Amino acid sequence: MIITRRQKIEKIYSVSINTKLQTKHKKMQLSNNLVIGLDYGTDSGRAILMDAETGKELALSIKEYPRWKKGLYCNPVKAQFRQHPLDYLEVLEHIVTDVLYKVPGAANRVKAISTDMTGSTPVAVNKEGTPLSLLPDFAENPDAMFVLWKDHTGQKENEQLNDFSKKWHIDYTRSAGCGDYSTEHFWTKALHIFKIPEIRKVAYSFVESSDWLPAILCGITKPEEIKRGMGIAGSRVMWNKEWGGYPPNEFFKALDPALDGLVDTFNKEAFTCDQVAGTITKEWAKKLGLPENVLIAVGNLDCHAGAVGAGVKDKVMVEIVGTSTCAITVGPKSIGNQLVPGIPQQADDIILPGMIGFEAGQSAFGDLYAWFKRLLMWPLDNIMLKSNIGDAETRQHLRDEVYAEMIPNLARQAKIIPPKDSQIIATDWINGRRSPNVDYELKGTITGIALSSVAPLVYKSLVEATAYGAKNIIERFVDNGIKLKEIIAVGGISQKSPYVMQVMSDVIGMPIKVIATREACALGVAMCAAVVAGVYKNLPEAQSKMGMEISNIYYPNHEYKKHYHQEFNKYLSLENIKDFV
């Protein structure tokens, strides 16, 4: 039986295609300058089809990574998080063909594609640029897969790298801005993976996912020819114009023989996100249903793309608020080598070409709330669902209802508790601290609990803890001469959690503007694609033409200023808790 494209999509989504939506797009006047932005997050990939001339979003498609969804190749106890390249490729084909299907006549008008991915998320490849996990002998080997950004299995190697670099005649960790390299970054993961004998025997190079996917679309196979993006190179791979690019092989060979020769497999240059990586191959053009002249942009990091999509510029900080956060701003190069202590990434051209980019963030934000939710769900999952009372279907429905309603109910109750009535102080370091002052050995804490403490009160303290973490980053910038006049928030939590956003505004003491899209990252790379296609001359122009409106503004309640100042200082003092665990 022949299965049509429509039937395939209906089968995947288990719903009928909205024919009214298709009719709407048939009537819509499309320009000849359409672009596609591909955003690969931690759990799923999404494609956004945009008309670059009008700035209109035409279609969106999202698909979860199938193997990742099953929890394959991961071991949270060891902080091991790996993703299979087939997840990326299968999602790519689905989401691109899906958005094109939703807008009849759009495919032949697409001029460029740009991608972003989480990082640092690299993979070991052979001389042909093939990830080892795509070879039969390594198909089920997690060490041959992409090492996800939040994988912390290389903690020992990270300590080795930092200690060694500080004794070298040039401390290359300075390229990270704060003087300490992160467990979540490229060279730590390279050292961890390349120390594994069976991997090192076959591996030729190490390639970031955000560089690999554009190379796949362009048909670039040799690692030396891959155009590695400045966003990842300058913020996570120690590329710095001060020492002529990457640190030399001499440094890495002395650090550990396992890294000998690896850096020599890299393209010596790093390329900004508004440059062309290549042209789509005939094979991928056919798979995706696109013309063979579609340009592919240099890859980008998801958080950097999100900042671009949200409208980052001088004196504006973009807070990307989700499971974790990224706090991003830019400044003119005229400020020189003004480093902000404790801020992990700061380098030229990594976010907006022509400007210095600054990137900080929190290792856990929504993840902290999710942990508390799982904690409270334990008796339902482990006792109620196994009970003999009632039928299994009813018990499952009850469990699912509690799961869906828990956080909204906690938020409603927490909202009515005056801040002054809470004596509980929590910290957001449940997954370590990314910035300021990276320290992944820090643990989360909750102090001041009494017999009268109820779940909404504890939840309130967790929300305040994440707000204190954001404030800590902002104050580090301001205290070091980086002026911030505006905060813009994007991401799932900014859209669906008014209570969290209000507490953030109260604690920080500044208004927070929320952009009217949850897909800022996809929008940001769509802007890059528009520049690559020649529709706009640079990213600031694309931002002004394609940017989204403000959907909400949260203003601080100044009655809470004194209280939160005192509580914030208590939060900072809890850093010493690691001396007792």
List the beta bridge partners of residue 419: none
For every residue of 532-553, DSSP letters joined together read HTTSSSSHHHHHHHHPPPEEEE
Q: How far apart are CA 318 and CA 491, in angstroms?
A: 10
Secondary structure (3-state) at 317: strand
Average pLDDT, the chain: 92
Tell me whether residue 331 is in a domain: yes
Tens digit of pLDDT for each residue in 355-372? 999 999 999 999 999 999
pLDDT in tens, 308-336: 999 999 999 999 998 899 999 999 987 76
Query: For residue 452, how many other CB atoms are within 10 A of its CB?
Result: 7
Closest CA to 237 of 197, 271, 200, 196: 271
Cis peptide before 436 (omega within 30 of 0): yes
- In three-state secondary structure terms, 37 is strand
- Mean pLDDT along residues 343-359: 92
Q: Bridge partners of 347?
A: 357
Over residues 252-271, the pLDDT tens digits come to 999 999 999 999 999 999 99
Give the strand pairing for 316-321 and 486-490: parallel
- Per-residue pLDDT, 464: 98
Instruction: Please check whether residue 122 lies inside any domain of the structure.
Output: no
User: Which CATH number characterizes residue 491's domain?
Assistant: 3.30.420.40
Residues paired with residue 82 on neighbouring β-strands, in sequence order:
147
Structural domain contains residue 43: no
* pTM (predicted TM-score): 0.88
Q: Given this model, what pLDDT does residue 341 score? A: 86
8-60 pLDDT, tens digit each: 444 443 333 444 444 444 556 999 999 999 999 999 999 999 999 999 999 99
Tokens of 54: 């009008």
* Nearest residue to 554 via CA among 492, 501, 487, 486: 501
Instruction: Give the Cα-Cα-Cα angle 29, 32, 33 (nearest 5 degrees).
Output: 110
Task: With H, G, I as helix, E, B as strand and everything else as coil, classify residue 103.
Answer: coil
| 542 inside domain | yes
Q: What is the DSSP letter of 243?
A: G
Alpha-carbon gap, residue 495 to 468, rounded angstroms: 20
Range of the domain at 509: 311-365+484-556
Q: Parallel, antiparallel, or unpaired for β 34-40 and 110-117?
A: parallel
Q: Give start and end residues of each alpha helix (H) in 416-454.
A: none
Is 405 contained in some domain? no
487 CA to centre of own chain: 19
CB 332 within 8 A of CB 503: no
Classified as helix, coil or strand, 227 is coil
What does the DSSP assignment read for 321-338? ESSSEEEEEEEEGGG-S-
- Counting Cα atoms < 13 Å in the Cβ hemisphere of 136 gives 0
Which pLDDT score is estimated for 333?
A: 87
Question: Which residues partner with 295 through β-bridges?
Answer: 112, 279
Domain assignment present for residue 286? The answer is no
> How many angstroms from the chain centroid is the CA of residue 541?
24
Q: Which residues pair with 59 in a beta bridge?
A: 49
**Span 482-499, average pLDDT:** 94
Q: What is the pLDDT of residue 170?
A: 93
Give the span between the Cα atoms of 152 and 183, in whole angstroms.
6
Buried b (16+ CB within 10 A) or exposed e, 293-331: ebbbbbbbbbbbbbbbbbbbbbebbbbbbbbbbbbbbbb
Task: Write the single-letter amino acid at 69.
Answer: K
pLDDT over 70 for what percent of the chain? Answer: 93
Q: Which uninterrupted H or E stretch holds 62?
A: strand 56-64
269 in a domain, yes or no?
no
Q: At what angle do helices 498-508 and 455-479 cross, to 10 degrees?
A: 50
- CA dist., res. 337 & res. 498, Å (int): 38
Contact 298, 277 (CB under 8 A): yes
Q: With helix as H, strand as E and coil as C, how does 293-312 read?
A: CCEEECCEEHHHHHHHHHCC
Looking at residue 2, what is its pLDDT? 38
pLDDT digits (tens, 9 = 90+) for 368-426: 999 999 999 999 999 999 999 999 999 999 999 999 999 999 999 999 999 988 889 99
| Domains identified in the chain, total number | 1
Under 8 Å between Cβ of 439 and 364: no
The strand ranges marked E within 345-490 are 345-348, 355-362, 425-426, 446-447, 486-490
Sequence-separated contacts (24+) of 2-5 with Cβ below 8 Å: 5/97, 5/101
CB atoms within 10 A of CB 509: 15
Burial label, 377 (beta-carbon count in 10 A; 0-12, 13-18, 19+):
middle
Q: Would the CA dihedral through 316, 239, 365, 71 be positive or negative? A: positive
